[in-house]
């Protein structure tokens, strides 16, 4: 049974409707059906219901304590290699298959969204470094850090090109969808042992202070501030598409107003959902363009 079938076969009790079934059935938000089902099933887990409320306060307390520690010794005990080995081990050992699937999808879709924008701004040449992991092994090779760097480098290099060549980002009558995968992603089966119980949100909350511990204070701030570039990417895509009516669910807002690192875990979940929604919209537009024969 696929993740989507789990909800499609779920009985509906009118006197006790399932909130996750309602969200799954709702079609107002563009979202890949399998990914949506995987995410909502993960949200309905016991880990999300009972473990998250207990661990989140401790995780955020650790962020505060580590921030104080980093003020005193900003570059002590930092290692991107060690960070990603710990993240790999944690994902392989404790994180649920659905959560790991969503994390790998995020890197894959994020690369495709940036490539779509680049491909639909005629006259610019921006070097890309796409991340398309199909299993957990690439996590050990600085995957999370490179993802953040890719986003910043893309925004900087794209806008340098636009300014140097006097180009504006405008609506394209025929969109180039070469970078957008409309079918299933080639992501392998994730580890599914009895220890793989932790849901996506709880895992992110737990991993955030680990991320902070092994990075310099500057690197951690840069990583958390990258989340607010969601609005920047959304605006670029809306200009190219010629519509922003379905990009209104971006919650990581104005990049010129940096937020504290305390809520980074929650904002990271919103970042992932924003990427899913934008990519699903691009897939929808790609299919419509193919049907229209443009």
**pLDDT at residue 249, rounded to an integer:** 67
**pLDDT at residue 120, rounded to an integer:** 97
Q: CA-CA distance, 188 to 183, in Å (whole number)?
A: 15
**Residue 137 in tokens:** 């092994």
The answer to whether 244 touches 234, Cβ cutoff 8 Å, is yes
Would you kindly state where each structural domain of the chain is located, as residue ranges? Answer: 50-292
- Closest to 38 in 3D by CA, of 100, 89, 90: 100
123: left (phi over 0), alpha (psi -120 to 50) or beta: left
Give the orientation angle of helix 143-165 with respect to helix 217-225, to 10 degrees. 60
The answer to whether 233 touches 113, Cβ cutoff 8 Å, is yes
**Residue 182 in tokens:** 């409309």
**pLDDT at residue 78, rounded to an integer:** 85
Burial 45-58 (b: 16+ CB within 10 A, else e): bebbeebbeebbee
The pLDDT profile of the chain, 294 residues, written as one tens digit per residue, is 678 888 988 899 999 999 999 999 998 888 999 999 999 999 999 999 999 999 999 999 999 999 888 888 877 778 999 999 999 999 999 999 999 999 999 999 999 999 999 999 999 999 999 999 999 999 999 999 999 999 999 999 999 999 999 999 999 989 999 999 999 999 999 999 999 999 999 999 999 999 999 988 888 889 888 888 999 999 999 999 988 776 656 777 788 887 778 888 888 999 999 999 999 999 999 999 988 876
């Amino acid at each position: 049974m696929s993740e989507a079938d789990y909800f499609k076969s779920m009985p509906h009790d009118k006197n006790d409707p399932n909130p996750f079934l309602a969200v799954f059935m709702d079609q107002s938000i563009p979202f890949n059906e399998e990914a949506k089902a995987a995410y909502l099933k993960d949200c309905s887990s016991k880990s999300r219901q009972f473990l998250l409320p207990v661990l989140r306060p401790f995780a955020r307390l650790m962020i505060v304590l580590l921030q104080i520690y980093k003020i005193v010794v900003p570059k002590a005990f930092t290692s991107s290699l060690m960070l990603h080995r710990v993240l790999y081990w944690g994902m392989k050992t404790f994180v649920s298959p659905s959560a790991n699937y969503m994390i790998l999808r995020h890197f894959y879709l994020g690369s495709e969204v940036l490539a779509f924008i680049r491909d639909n701004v005629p006259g610019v040449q921006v070097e890309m470094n796409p991340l398309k992991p199909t299993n957990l092994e690439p996590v050990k090779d600085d995957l999370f850090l490179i993802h953040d760097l890719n986003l910043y480098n893309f925004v900087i290099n794209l806008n340098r090109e636009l300014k140097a060549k006097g180009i504006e980002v405008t609506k394209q009558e025929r969109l180039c969808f070469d970078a957008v995968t409309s079918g299933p992603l080639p992501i392998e089966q994730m580890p599914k042992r009895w220890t793989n119980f932790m849901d996506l949100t709880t895992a992110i909350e737990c991993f955030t202070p680990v991320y902070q511990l092994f990075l310099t204070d500057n690197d951690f701030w840069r990583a958390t501030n990258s989340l607010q570039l969601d609005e920047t990417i959304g605006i670029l895509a809306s200009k190219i598409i010629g519509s922003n009516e379905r990009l209104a669910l971006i919650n990581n807002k104005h990049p010129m107003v940096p937020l504290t690192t305390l809520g980074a875990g929650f904002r990271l979940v919103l970042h992932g959902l924003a990427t899913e929604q934008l990519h699903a919209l691009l897939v929808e537009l790609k299919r419509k363009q193919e049907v229209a024969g443009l």
